[in-house]
């Protein structure tokens, strides 16, 4: 059995053998901070075994997530994607686009030409996805939950499988439209695998997608990243 260093361990959560969105923040911490996080986590687990108070565990993880994600990031853009809304929202037509990897059953985008690629296979090929230009999947907003699929090598999709509204909130947006809080929720919604070539996304895919969205007379675009 090969020994694993702290550095290798923390990197394994970020597009590695333990790909897990909940703990990707470990890769942004120093080896010493990761060791301290784990030691303190074990102490708090011991205390929780005594009194059953899980809140201290949640707070501990959130605290270190904030430390890990407090950096400046790898990408910077000259302009913001956000625009102040001037019209009443109940008069506007909204669309949804998410980097979640959702698609409709029977309409698999078949990355790399692979039929029925599993989540594990996607995680194993994550470095190949990161060089790939993303493909946009169209998803009717009345798609039944049992017909909505998700596959993404960059995060743990179990939460999205249990409830797609976790990161692809078509039910919630349909409810907002039905209640009149927004004017209309445009169909279809869109999803793609955000773990992709960022340059190909920005320079090739996005201009085509923006043109498509404009042609659908959308007033507001709701962006959901993972």
Do 27 and 103 belong together in one domain?
Answer: no
pLDDT of residue 18: 74
pLDDT of residue 105: 96
214 in Cβ contact with 208 (< 8 Å): no
**Residue 208: is its pLDDT beyond 90?**
yes
pLDDT of residue 116: 92
How buried is residue 151: exposed, middle or buried, by Cβ count under 10 Å (0-12/13-18/19+)? buried
**Residue 112: is its pLDDT beyond 90?**
yes
Where helices occur in 52-204 by DSSP H, the ranges are: 55-68, 119-124, 126-129, 158-162, 170-178, 198-200
> What does the pLDDT look like over 12-67, one tens digit per residue?
887 767 777 788 899 899 999 999 999 999 999 999 999 999 999 999 999 999 99
- State the residue range of the domain holding 49: 6-68
Across 159-170, average pLDDT: 95
39 in Cβ contact with 14 (< 8 Å): no
pLDDT of residue 133: 94
Across 165-177, average pLDDT: 97
Do 62 and 14 belong together in one domain?
Answer: yes
pLDDT of residue 1: 62
Do 32 and 99 belong together in one domain?
Answer: no
- Our count of domains for the chain comes to 2
Burial 71-105 (b: 16+ CB within 10 A, else e): eeeeeeeeeeeeeeeeeeeeeeebbbbbbbbbbbe
pLDDT band at 154 (very low <50, low <70, confident <90, very high): confident
Across 147-153, average pLDDT: 95
Across 193-200, average pLDDT: 94
Do 148 and 217 belong together in one domain?
Answer: yes
Do 59 and 93 belong together in one domain?
Answer: no
**Residue 151: is its pLDDT beyond 80?**
yes
Do 23 and 97 belong together in one domain?
Answer: no
What rounded mean pLDDT belongs to the chain?
Answer: 91
Closest by alpha carbon to 123, among 8, 2, 6, 19? Answer: 19
pLDDT of residue 186: 96
> What does the pLDDT look like over 59-92, one tens digit per residue?
999 999 999 988 656 666 677 767 788 899 999 9
**Residue 104: is its pLDDT beyond 60?**
yes
Do 20 and 102 belong together in one domain?
Answer: no
Query: Does the residue 107 lie in any domain?
Result: yes
Query: Does the residue 76 lie in any domain?
Result: no
Query: Does the residue 79 lie in any domain?
Result: no
Do 220 and 171 belong together in one domain?
Answer: yes
Higher pLDDT, 156 or 47: 47
* Count of CB atoms situated within 10 Å of the CB of 37: 21
């Amino acid at each position: 059995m090969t020994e694993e260093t702290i550095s290798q361990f923390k990197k394994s959560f970020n597009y590695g053998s333990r790909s897990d969105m909940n703990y990707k923040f470990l890769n942004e911490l120093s080896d010493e901070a990761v060791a301290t996080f784990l030691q303190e986590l074990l102490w708090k687990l011991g205390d929780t075994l005594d009194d059953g108070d899980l809140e201290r565990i949640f707070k501990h993880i959130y605290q270190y997530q904030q430390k890990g994600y407090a950096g400046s990031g790898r990408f910077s853009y000259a302009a913001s994607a956000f625009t102040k809304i001037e019209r009443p929202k109940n008069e506007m037509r909204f669309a949804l686009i998410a980097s979640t990897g959702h698609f409709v059953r029977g309409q698999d985008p078949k990355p790399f030409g692979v039929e029925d690629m599993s989540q594990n296979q996607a995680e194993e090929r994550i470095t190949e996805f990161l060089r790939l230009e993303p493909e946009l999947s169209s998803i009717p907003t009345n798609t039944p939950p049992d017909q909505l699929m998700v596959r993404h090598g960059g995060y743990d999709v179990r939460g999205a499988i249990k409830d797609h509204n976790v990161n692809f909130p078509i039910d919630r947006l349909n409810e907002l439209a039905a209640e009149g809080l927004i004017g209309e929720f445009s169909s279809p919604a869109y999803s793609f695998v955000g773990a992709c070539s960022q340059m190909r996304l920005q320079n090739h895919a996005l201009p085509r997608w923006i043109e498509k969205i404009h042609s659908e007379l959308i007033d507001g675009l709701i962006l959901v990243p993972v």
